[in-house]
Structure 1
C-alpha cells in the first residue's frame, strides 16, 4: 500500500496545524459557526444532531494493522469506543468534542491518515473495488489509479469549491463491486487489443434525482487518463449550476446538456490539459505502482482447512458465505461481517478493530480493506489459516456467516445521528436482520441485498438495492417506501417503487411478504431474487404487499 513521502507528511502536518488554530478561534468566539463551517468541512468535521462527527478518509478502502489499531485508539480515547464504517469506505466518529478534534487529526497523521476532503464541495475520497489486488477476475489492480487520482485531487487549486461534491470510483474487474455507475465519475479498467486502458463514465449518482452513469469514453489510454479526468471535472466546474444545489451535481449537467455535448466539450478541454500535463503524471504513476506490488504468496497444503470444512458445520457455513476466490492458488479473500444479527450495520468496537488488526498482521500480509457494503476484508489469507482466523473472529462477534444475505444490510446512520435524516434506518435494519435470523431461512433465500436510507440523500444506496427502503417523514410519522429490482453491479439499474409506503411497525412484515413471494415464485433454488424479479416483474410482489385489488388497479392503470 502507499506510504507517505516527506511532502505528504509535511502537507498533512501543516493542514492539521492550521485547523488547530481555527478550532481555537471557534472556541474563543473569534469565529462564528457560519465562519467556521467551511473550514471544518474542509477537514471532515460535521455538526450532526447531537454532536460533531469526524469523517476519516480510508483511501480506496485500504488499511494496514497499525492504522486499524490507531482507529481503535481514537475510538477509545476521544469517542465512545466504536467507529462506523461507511459506504464511502470511510470511518466516522460520532461523538468527538470540538476541542479534541485537532488531537484526533494528529493521531491520524502518525499512521499516515487524515480527514481532508471527506466533506465539502470538492473531490471526495476516491473509492475502489474492495477486492483490489486479490480478485481472481481482475484485469489490473485499480488502487494505483485511485492513488494517482487522490494525489492529483488533494488541494487541487481549481477544484476546492466545485458546484457540489464530486465522487469517483475505480474498478479493475469486469464484475463491478465498486458501484461505479452510481458515481459522478467512474473508471473501469479494460483491455483492448492487448492494451490496458480505461472506460470512463460520468453523470451517475443517487439522492433525490437518481441516475445511472453514461459512458463518455470507451477507451482512454493509460497515458491520457489524468488529463482526461481533469478535463471532465473542469468542464463541469464551468457548466455546473451554482444557483440551485439540488441541480448542481454533474448528473444534472449531463442530463441538461446531453452526453454528446458534454463529450464534445470534454474532448476540446482535453486537448488543452494533455498539453499542459506533458506526460509529467506518467512518472508519478510508475512510482505509485511500486507501492502496490503483490505479497509473496506461498504454497502450502490445505489439511487444516479441509479438516475444518468437513467436520465443523459452523465453519463450513462461514466459508461458503464469506470467502471469495483469490488470484493465487491456495488463498482466499475473507469478508468479515459487521452485520451480526441485531447489531448496527457498519459499527466496530475498538476491541474488534484490534482483533482484525492482529489477524491481518499475523495471517493477512498486513492488509485490510473496507467495503462500500460496510464490512471489512482480509484480501490475502491462506486457506489453511482460515480455521484459526474463524475461531478468533467468532470469539469477538465477527464471524457472522451472512455476506450477501438478507441480514447483510447497508444502512445509513439515519435519524439516530444525522441532521438531514427524516426517519430511522438503524432500528429497521436491526429488526429485519433479527426477524430473518428467527426464521432461519437466510441461506435458503440466498443472494439478496437490502439497502436502507433515512432520507432522500440516499447514503444507504437504497436506489440500487434488490430491495430498497427509503425512510420519509409523513406529517410527523415515519413512513418507509419500498423499491425493487435495483442493482449496483455491471448490470446497474435503479429500483422501481412498489406503491404506498409503510409505517415503522409495518415495514418488517412487508419485507417478509416480499421474500415469501420470491420463494413461492422462483423457478429453482438457484434463481436469485434479482433474477426472479427481472423474469416476473413487479406484479407478484405488489400483490404480496397490497393484495389482489391493488395489483388489479395497477394493471388497469
Structure 2
C-alpha cells in the first residue's frame, strides 16, 4: 500500500481516510470488484457522476448548520479539488462536482481539519440528519431541536448497526407543529413537543417520496428526549434485520412497515430494547454550543433603491424569537453559489452576526442573529454579492435537483426548466414574488430528490415517444401536494405528461385558472375542490405528441438533440455477492468486533460479530444459488438448508445462535462469547465451502 498522511488528530477519522485511500488502490489493481467498491465509497460521500471519470462529493452538514471557518474550508476544498461551485441539496448538504477519485482521501482530510465529514453522506446508511433551518430562533418552537439532532448525528456516525443496511435511512427534526422539517416524508421524523413540562417528541415513521410516496405513521405520540436515541437504535436494528436487500425498489422503511404492519413493527422495536446497552440517553441541551451574536455598532450606509430594499425586507426577513434580532433568508437559485461569494459571506456573518449560516431544505441560506439596526448594512453587503434576490421561500423560489446536469439517473433537465419557470413567474406573475402559500418543485426522475410529489405544483423529468418512435424530453405534471403540519401531509396527484418545452404553458394554464377561480383559497384548498379530472381536462391537449416541432426534441438548458441516457443509480450502494469477498468481509467484521471489544464498546463489538455471521451465512446461500433478501431470511434459510439437513453442525440452530443478540444485554461476557461464536461459525462455513483457503482469505 502507498503511504498516505492525513495530519488528522482524531485516530478514528484518520484510519477511515487511510482505509479509503487503500481501497482505491486495491480497486485500481483489480483486487476489489467495482460494485463492492461502489458501496464502500458511497458510504464515504463519493458518488459517481453522469460524466465519466469524475465524482460528486457530498459533504455532510448536520441540520444545515455551517460555521464561518467551515464554510471557508469547504470553499478552499472546492477550489483545490473541483471548480469552485457549491450546490446546496434538499437535505442541507453541500455537493461539489467533477472531483478526481484518487484525490478524494486528501480532500476528505482537508475538510476534517474543521470538523466537516463525508462519512455516510451517501450509501446504505443513516444519511444527513436534517432539521428546521430556523431551529433555535423559530418564534413557534417549544425548544431548540439542534442539540438533539446533533446528538443523534454523533451517536449514529460510524455506528456498526447502520453501515450496510438494505437502503438509505433519512431522519428529520421539526421545531414545531408547523413541521418545517417535513417529518411526514421521512423514515423517522421527530416533532418537538412539551408535555407536563417535559421536553420530548412526537415520532413519525415510514414516510417517503420516490415513485410510491407514503405518508408516515405515528410511532409514538410522545417520548421524552432521553428516549429518542434508544428508540432510533431499535428502529434501525429492526430495519437492518428485516429490510429488503435484493430489490432496491422495495428496500425502504416504508415498504417494511407496509409488509409487517405498524403494530408488529412496534413489537419488534420494543423487543430489540433487550439488546440495547443504553435504555435512556440524556442529552444535555445546556452544553450544546449556542450561537453567540457579536455586538457591533451598525455602520452607516446609503440605500440606493429604497423601493427595492423595502420589497426585499418584505420577502427575505424572518422574525426571530430573540428580541432585537432577525434572520435573513438568501434565495439561492437552484441551490448553486460560488466560493468567492461563500468566503465573503463567511467573513460577513463572522464579523457582524453569529458566525454561522444555515442551509435550508429548499436549497437556500439563512443568516441568523442579525441585529435589527444592521439590516440596511447587510442588504448593501449582500447586494454586492448578488445575494438580494427577492422571494425567499415564496412561490418564485423553485426547488430543483441537478437532474441531467450531473446525475446518472436524470431523465430530463430539472435545472433548465426551473430556470425558465422562474423567468415566467417573475415576468408574468409578479404577485408571486411575495406569495408564500404556493410551492413549486422539480425532480429530474422519479426518485424525487427535488421533492416534486410533495409540492402544490410539481414536475418530474420523463421522456415521451412519438408515433414514429422518436424520443423527446417530457415532464409529468403533479398537483395537490401539501404539508398539513404536525406529521400530516398530502402527496400530489399525477395529472398529465407533457413534452418539456410545453412545461411553461402548463404552468400558465394552472396559474391563470387559479387566479380566476380560487376566490381566496390556497392552491391546496382549491385543488381539493376541483380535483385531478378538472386539471386533466384543462391540460390534456398539451399531451399530444403527434405535432411536435424540432424544438421539442431539445431539452431546456441545452442546444443538443435529446438523448435519453440513464446510468447506474447510486442513491444507495449495491453490495457485491461474491463469495470470497463476503468471507473476507466476515474476517474484517470480526477484526472490527475485536477492536471494539478492546475499547470496551461492547454493543458495537456484538453488532460487528452479528454482521460477520450474517455475511458468512449469506456466502453459502449464494453458493447454492439461493435468494438472500433480508437478514432474517438469510438466517431462516441457512437453518433450513444447512443445519436442519445436517450438513453443518452448530450444536444449536443458527437462529438460536445468532438471535442471542436481541436476548442479551451487551455485557463484556456476552460480547466475548458472541465474538468467539462468530469466529467458529466462519471457520465452519469456510470449511464446508472448501477445505482449501479461498482466494482473499487469510
Q: Would you say same fold, with TM above 0.5? A: yes
What is the Cα deviation at residue 485 of structure 1?
A: 1.4
Q: Structure 1 19/493 Cα, relative in aligned 2: closer, same or farther at 3 Å?
A: same
Query: For the residues of structure 1 that align with 2:18 and 2:541, how far apart are their CA atoms?
Result: 62
| Equivalent position of 1:277 in the other structure | 278
Q: TM-score, normalized by length of structure 2? A: 0.72
Q: Structure 1 466/438 Cα, relative in aligned 2: closer, same or farther at 3 Å?
A: same
CA contact (8 A) 1:135 1:326 kept: yes
SS class of match (2:167): coil
1:348 aligns with 2:308: no
1:469 aligns with 2:459: yes
| Equivalent position of 2:425 in the other structure | 436
Identify the match of residue 495 of structure 1 among 492, 496, 509: 492
Larger gyration radius, structure 1 or structure 2: 2
What is the Cα deviation at residue 354 of structure 1?
A: 1.2
Cα displacement string for residues 452-501 of structure 1 (whole angstroms, at most 9, x for unaligned residues): 01111111100101101111123432221111111245142101122x31
1:520 aligns with 2:510: no
Query: For the residues of structure 1 that align with 2:382 and 2:33, how far apart are their CA atoms?
Result: 46
| Equivalent position of 1:395 in the other structure | 384
CA contact (8 A) 1:465 1:487 kept: yes
Unpaired segments ≥5 residues, structure 1:
1-5, 340-344, 551-557
CA contact (8 A) 1:517 1:540 kept: no
Query: For the residues of structure 2 that align with 1:30 and 1:257, how far apart are their CA atoms?
Result: 40
CA contact (8 A) 1:13 1:109 kept: no
| Equivalent position of 1:334 in the other structure | 328
Identify the match of residue 81 of structure 2 among 69, 73, 78: 78
SS class of match (1:54): strand
| Equivalent position of 1:316 in the other structure | 310
| Equivalent position of 1:484 in the other structure | 479
CA contact (8 A) 1:177 1:489 kept: no
| Equivalent position of 1:411 in the other structure | 400
1:184 aligns with 2:190: no
| Equivalent position of 2:292 in the other structure | 295
Query: For the residues of structure 2 that align with 1:549 and 1:170, how far apart are their CA atoms?
Result: 40
1:449 aligns with 2:452: no
What is the Cα deviation at residue 67 of structure 1?
A: 0.7
Q: TM-score, normalized by length of structure 1? A: 0.89
Query: For the residues of structure 2 that align with 1:55 and 1:549, how far apart are their CA atoms?
Result: 37
CA contact (8 A) 1:9 1:109 kept: no
Query: For the residues of structure 1 that align with 2:472 and 2:135, how far apart are their CA atoms?
Result: 43
- 1:227-306 equivalent positions in 2, closer than 5 A: 227-270=230-273, 272-273=274-275, 276-279=277-280, 281-282=281-282, 285-286=283-284, 289-295=286-292
SS class of match (1:423): coil
- 1:33-112 equivalent positions in 2, closer than 5 A: 33-50=34-51, 51-112=54-115
What is the Cα deviation at residue 543 of structure 1?
A: 4.3
| Equivalent position of 1:25 in the other structure | 26
Query: For the residues of structure 2 that align with 1:37 and 1:446, how far apart are their CA atoms?
Result: 41
Q: Structure 1 155/521 Cα, relative in aligned 2: closer, same or farther at 3 Å?
A: same
| Equivalent position of 1:206 in the other structure | 209
CA contact (8 A) 2:315 2:434 kept: no
Greater displacement, 8-17 / 241-250: 8-17
Q: Structure 1 297/193 Cα, relative in aligned 2: closer, same or farther at 3 Å?
A: farther
CA contact (8 A) 2:81 2:99 kept: yes
CA contact (8 A) 2:293 2:355 kept: no
CA contact (8 A) 2:394 2:434 kept: no
What is the Cα deviation at residue 47 of structure 1?
A: 1.2
| Equivalent position of 2:528 in the other structure | 534
Query: For the residues of structure 1 that align with 2:114 and 2:377, how far apart are their CA atoms?
Result: 28
Query: For the residues of structure 1 that align with 2:9 and 2:179, how far apart are their CA atoms?
Result: 31
1:427 aligns with 2:416: yes
CA contact (8 A) 2:63 2:129 kept: yes
Unpaired segments ≥5 residues, structure 2:
1-6, 466-470, 545-698
Cα displacement string for residues 146-183 of structure 1 (whole angstroms, at most 9, x for unaligned residues): 11111221111122111211011012212111111111
| Equivalent position of 1:554 in the other structure | none
Query: For the residues of structure 2 that align with 1:60 and 1:250, how far apart are their CA atoms?
Result: 21
Query: For the residues of structure 1 that align with 2:32 and 2:255, how far apart are their CA atoms?
Result: 35
CA contact (8 A) 1:60 1:128 kept: yes
CA contact (8 A) 1:68 1:354 kept: yes
Query: For the residues of structure 2 that align with 1:522 and 1:228, how far apart are their CA atoms?
Result: 44
Q: Structure 1 211/449 Cα, relative in aligned 2: closer, same or farther at 3 Å?
A: same
Q: Structure 1 336/222 Cα, relative in aligned 2: closer, same or farther at 3 Å?
A: same
What is the Cα deviation at residue 533 of structure 1?
A: 2.7
Greater displacement, 530-539 / 89-98: 530-539
| Equivalent position of 1:376 in the other structure | 365
Cα displacement string for residues 291-324 of structure 1 (whole angstroms, at most 9, x for unaligned residues): 2335368799x9989x969x81111111111111
CA contact (8 A) 2:300 2:377 kept: no
What is the Cα deviation at residue 516 of structure 1?
A: 1.1
Q: Structure 1 265/33 Cα, relative in aligned 2: closer, same or farther at 3 Å?
A: closer
